A and B are shown apart, each in its own frame.
Chain A
Amino acid sequence: MRSVADIGKALDAPLPPSDPVAAATFLLFSGEEILEHWLLAHDKAPTDELKEGFRVLALHRQGARGDPSFNACRETARELVYHYNLIRLEPEHQDMPKRLVMMLLVAKHLYLFVSGKMEVAGLGEFCCSSKPIRLNSA
């Protein structure tokens, strides 16, 4: 699994223009990964289950259990799925480049929200290995 910082860097880099479905899959996977970090920082094993056919939604639901404020990114996770579906179902659509840009911004928002929340909560500086250091210094 990539570090939180690496996910952020990848979302700042240009997407491969040739294959929109691959790019959309990469963005969906980035959403899953950032949610996995959130769960791991809370000592929870990320689920492999699907919700409405998507792991990212199941991971979000798992992450919000016991932390209702995490629902502030529920719609962002759902928008990620929506844009993924749009691109996957109509890869040749004339609006595809626009849809891909929008999906990137949605994925980035999920990343910024979760990573920011982890930092504010002192759950690690975007790296699981730093969590014990933070906890010990608290």
Chain B
Amino acid sequence: MPERKEKYKKVAYYHGCALEGTAQPYNTSTRAIAKKLDLELVDIENWNCCGAMEVKNIDPEIQTYLSSRVMSLAHNGMGQDVVMAPCNGCYHNLKKAEYDIANSKKSRDVVKKISAKADHPVYEAGQVETIHALDWIKFGYGEEELKAKIKGGLKGLKVANYYGCMYTRPRHIFPEKDQGGDSESTSQPHYMDDLLEIAGAVNVEFPLKTACCGGAHTLSDSDTSTRLVLNILQAAEAAGADVIATECPTCHSGLEMHQIRALKRLSKETNVKIVYFTQLLGLALGLSARKVGIHENVSNSIPLLKSRKIA
């Protein structure tokens, strides 16, 4: 544990494309937390797309290369051995690339060939460790230390923690999970629950915490996405949640947009608010709502947070 604390104190920060666009509040709040907790984020310069879903669906080897380039930049360009990716899509893809490079000669050959063509050092398996923002705070700062740092806290706010599908799947690309002790569970993830409980939230029992939000076909089949999201929102409300805490930009924007669409298209209204977990942590640490970008969310949680004297 102390080893990880030292290791995660300064990490290469790979925010990816979503955190520069629709998930800007996730970026804002992550950076604000880093500053507050004295954790150093070093931006990866000249980064590229991780390959997201689009490239992966067409050519998984190209996705492996794209993610490998990001890891190569961190290791060979910056001398960093930890990459922190708050976006579930980026995190998932870097982990997948790591697995493919370690286990598939074909993947290694493709990465080698394109890296040579692009004139940058080839990424070799094991040169960096990719972690999520949840690992970064839980181990880089520490739970006991976080407890001591909480100011005001979340005052019993009822939270449904929603992890989405990419944080834990497929299992084989996350060899560090399901190892018992303080490792994350792929079937019942709990790191976000742990951190928000420390921050003063009451976590509700939420059976759809890893269920699909329909993010992959939000444009090609919006109605299916709307129905899936509506079901998630209704389940969170039935569980008694005031807010849904998210840690995936795709899930977050899907929940926000389809909450509105469900009202317009299906006349189904839900009132649960959608907030990034980093925003909730930031508020609990005494940062202002503006500092953690609450006003940038589509889902307006300001009246709720003000009424509870959290913001």
Taking CB atoms, residues of chain B closer than 8 Å to A120 are 217, 220-221, 224
- Judge if B214 is at the interface, Cβ distance under 8 Å: yes
Range of interface residues on chain B? 20 to 34
Q: Give the docked Cα–Cα distance between A78 and B207 (Å).
A: 10
CB distance from B104 to the nearest CB of A (A): 15
Best-surrounded residue of A74, A75, A98 (most CB of chain B within 10 A): A75
Q: A68-B170, A79-B208, A82-B207 are in contact. Are A108 and B231 (CB under 8 A)?
A: yes
- Judge if B309 is at the interface, Cβ distance under 8 Å: no
- Complex: chain A residue closest to B214, CB-CB: A116
CB distance from A21 to the nearest CB of B (A): 19
Summarize A's interface: helix, strand, loop or mixed: helix
- B207 pairs with A112, CB closer than 8 A: no
Q: Which of A79, A115, A119 contacts B207 (CB 8 A)?
A: A79
Q: Give the docked Cα–Cα distance between A116 and B230 (Å).
A: 14
- Judge if A102 is at the interface, Cβ distance under 8 Å: yes
Q: Give the docked Cα–Cα distance between A79 and B209 (Å).
A: 10
- Complex: chain A residue closest to B221, CB-CB: A120
Q: Give the docked Cα–Cα distance between A98 and B207 (Å).
A: 13
- B234 pairs with A105, CB closer than 8 A: yes
| Count of interface residues, chain A, beta-carbon cutoff 8 Å | 24
- Complex: chain A residue closest to B234, CB-CB: A105
CB distance from A71 to the nearest CB of B (A): 6
Q: Give the docked Cα–Cα distance between A76 and B235 (Å).
A: 12
- Judge if B41 is at the interface, Cβ distance under 8 Å: no
Residues on A facing B (Cβ under 8 Å): 68, 71-76, 78-79, 82-83, 98, 101-102, 105-106, 108-109, 112-113, 115-116, 119-120
A-B contact pairs, 14 of them (CB 8 A): A78-B187, A83-B207, A101-B238, A102-B207, A105-B234, A109-B208, A109-B211, A109-B228, A109-B232, A112-B227, A112-B228, A116-B224, A116-B228, A119-B224
Given contacts A71-B170, A74-B187, A102-B238, 13 further A-B contacts (CB under 8 A): A75-B187, A76-B207, A76-B208, A76-B211, A79-B207, A105-B208, A109-B231, A112-B227, A112-B228, A116-B217, A116-B221, A120-B217, A120-B220
